[in-house]
Structure 1
Amino acid sequence: MRTLRLARIAGEAEALRWRRRARGMVARLVWAMLALPFLLTGFVFLEAAFWRFLLLHFAVVPATLIAGGANVLLGVVLVLPALFRPADDRVAREAVQLRREAVAGIESRLRLGSAAVGVMQAFLLLRRRAPRK
């Protein structure tokens, strides 16, 4: 009975870990999606600035470069949390530890059970070989 409970606990801990991991992946995806328009806009502004620079030689270029640089900077700032967010948070790490402990408990119960079966087999074998009176 305890073995089944430990297996259930291990399964629940693993499910919790996967839910937390999925939540982290969604958060990283959201940050990346927020950063993408700013990065694209920044590249467009930088391209427009370069083109404008070539055409006008310093006329509107400083303003365009500042706008493009600001967009790229904002995009980089938004993408940093997506890149440096840890894969597993505290709850997910605790779930992994709980799963390991539950699996270790199951293994020890199974070893104890198999040892008991071995003792019973030896007892029955000796009893069969013993002369009857």
Structure 2
Amino acid sequence: MNTINTQAAERLEKTRFLRKIKAEMKANVIETLVSMEENNELPKDLKVKRYTPNDETADALSYIGEFCAFHNLTNTLKCLRAETNGDIMVLRTAGNEKSKLARAIEIYNQKKAAEAPAPEN
């Protein structure tokens, strides 16, 4: 019986399903913790430690956030936002001009909204 469990775990690891399951679980746990924190439901002895980006890493996080949004990686983006103490800034290149990736996301979302069927009455 033990070898069957070991073989199953090895197969899950080789096919990378185990990694995906762990990432999904982590995203759900972080999302729940953030929700509990917002509602003041966290136990007082539980310390949730999160990463606070500095000026050097903020741009990189913005690109990662835009990439996740573009590819509809919503759980990954929620987890990233939760681990970085809130929302990730939208990267701007000059003045109010957004990065090429941010503009591509907007265009993609506009096309998607235009293609969506109209709600029936």
Which category describes the TM-score, using the shorter chain as reference length? under 0.3
By relative contact order (CA 8 Å, sep 6+), the higher-ranking structure is 1
Q: Name the TM-score, length of structure 1 as normaliser.
A: 0.22
Structure with bigger gyration radius: 1
Q: Name the TM-score, length of structure 2 as normaliser.
A: 0.24
More helix by share: 1
More strand by share: 2
